[in-house]
Structure 1
Amino acid sequence: MIYPIVMYGDAVLRQKAGDIAPGTDLKQLIEDMYETMHAASGIGLAAPQIGKSIRLFVVDGTVLEDEPGMADFKKAFINPQMLEEWGEPWDYEEGCLSIPNIREKVARKARLRIRYFDEQWNQKEEEYDGMQARIIQHEYDHIEGKMFVDYLPALKKRLLKGKLTDISKGKVDTEYRIAAPLKK
């Protein structure tokens, strides 16, 4: 099932998502999230972006096969906990399915260590760097109630205010279904 993507301005995107009870069957939801993400040409999708305030996100960087380590980078992260981020911050132009047609440079630390459960509820603790780390950091922010525009300088945010307001009203062209909080 393909869900509509929740747009900027919806309160669910600003809530810290709740933990999922261990052992909960998430197979169908995770399949639906991958299907939704792929239909929108995304490489990551967090549950709040489909209106569910739970600590779950999926990533699929396999389309970035030319980037180191991305050819098989596809997984779900259940109840993740960011343990550590380190390394020299590096800028990269990020976008977001919940903020369509806006891309801005965001500086993020180069490496991270994260603890999470996989789809079979096996606990993992892993380190990631480069593009893998960036995708995880972006999606992790979603379950913490943060968005990439929060990292922008105040002037840049003011310049984007009108576009962000239009997005929250559903006045945006996308190739995918959206759920806009202020759409009349």
Structure 2
Amino acid sequence: MIYPIVAFGDPILRKPTRFIEKDEMDLKKLSDDMFETMHGASGVGLAAPQIGLNIRIFVVDATPFSRKDDEDDDEPDLSLADFRKTFINPEILEEVGEEWAFEEGCLSIPGIRGDVYRPETVRIRYRDIEWNEHEEEYSGMAARIIQHEYDHLLGKLFVDYLPTLKKQFIKKKLSDISKGNVDADYRMRFSSRK
């Protein structure tokens, strides 16, 4: 099932999420639906608040970064070829390394991108859909995707990290998105249209 993506301005995107209890829901079905929704919107990550759920789960699929894009001069990152996971009840234990910039975007904020500085490496504890616990370390683009999605679980968005001048520059665009005045090639849900 493909969910509509919750647009900027909906209060759920600013709420910290709650932990999921074991056997509370069909995690495999939810994970599959989230992957289907994310792929349908050409995303590489999707957190539960972006589909209107206030729970601690996100999915990532960074395989697009492992393929060569003819229009892009960057070399593909082959380490991301199999980076497709579901993170349930994740907790970032440590973020280390030099902060580096990358132009991030978000399915909930279509048409806006900006450089965000994040630490190079992250150590995270989480459960998979079988409820097995894992503690793993990721670096580079994998770490960045995790940090971006994890922020959604805390009620933070990538635009929060942008410099004040950039925030002022995009203020009207953000307002337009929250009102539903935006073009996206996927279905969205706007709090102003409830």
TM over 0.5: yes
The answer for the alignment partner of 2:107 in structure 1 is 97
Equivalent in 82, 86, 89 of residue 92 of structure 2: 82
Alignment of 1:30-49 (within 5 A): 30-49=31-50
Q: Deviations over 1:125-163 (max 9, x none)?
A: 000000000000000000010000000111211111100
- Give the TM-score of the pair, scaled to structure 1: 0.98
Q: Deviations over 1:24-74 (max 9, x none)?
A: 331111100000000000000000000001000000001111214100000
Question: Could you tell me the percent identity over the aligned residues?
Answer: 61
AA at the equivalent of 1:95: G
- Give the TM-score of the pair, scaled to structure 2: 0.93
Question: For 1:101, what is the secondary structure of its paired residue?
Answer: coil
Q: CA deviation at 1:5?
A: 0.1
Q: CA deviation at 1:183?
A: 3.3
- Structure 2, unpaired ranges of 5+: 67-75
Quick one: distance in 2 between partners of 1:81 and 1:148? Answer: 18
- Structure 1, unpaired ranges of 5+: none
Output the aligned Cα RMSD.
0.9
Q: CA deviation at 1:76?
A: 0.1
Asked whether the 8 Å contact 1:23–1:121 carries over to 2, the reply is no
Q: CA deviation at 1:23?
A: 3.3
The answer for the alignment partner of 2:169 in structure 1 is 159
Tell me if 1:53 matches 2:54: yes
How many residues align structurally? 184
The answer for the alignment partner of 1:148 in structure 2 is 158
Q: Deviations over 1:76-113 (max 9, x none)?
A: 00000000000000000000000001110000000010
The answer for the alignment partner of 1:14 in structure 2 is 14
Quick one: distance in 1 between partners of 2:99 and 2:129? Answer: 31
Asked whether the 8 Å contact 1:44–1:135 carries over to 2, the reply is yes
Quick one: distance in 2 between partners of 1:176 and 1:169? Answer: 16
Quick one: distance in 2 between partners of 1:87 and 1:58? Answer: 24
* Deviation larger for 60-69 or 105-114: 60-69
The answer for the alignment partner of 1:120 in structure 2 is 130
* Deviation larger for 81-90 or 24-33: 24-33
Asked whether the 8 Å contact 1:168–1:183 carries over to 2, the reply is no
Question: For 1:182, what is the secondary structure of its paired residue?
Answer: helix
The answer for the alignment partner of 2:73 in structure 1 is none
AA at the equivalent of 1:62: T
Quick one: distance in 2 between partners of 1:174 and 1:67? Answer: 27
Quick one: distance in 1 between partners of 2:6 and 2:29? Answer: 19
Question: For 2:113, what is the secondary structure of its paired residue?
Answer: strand
AA at the equivalent of 2:94: E
Asked whether the 8 Å contact 1:99–1:164 carries over to 2, the reply is yes
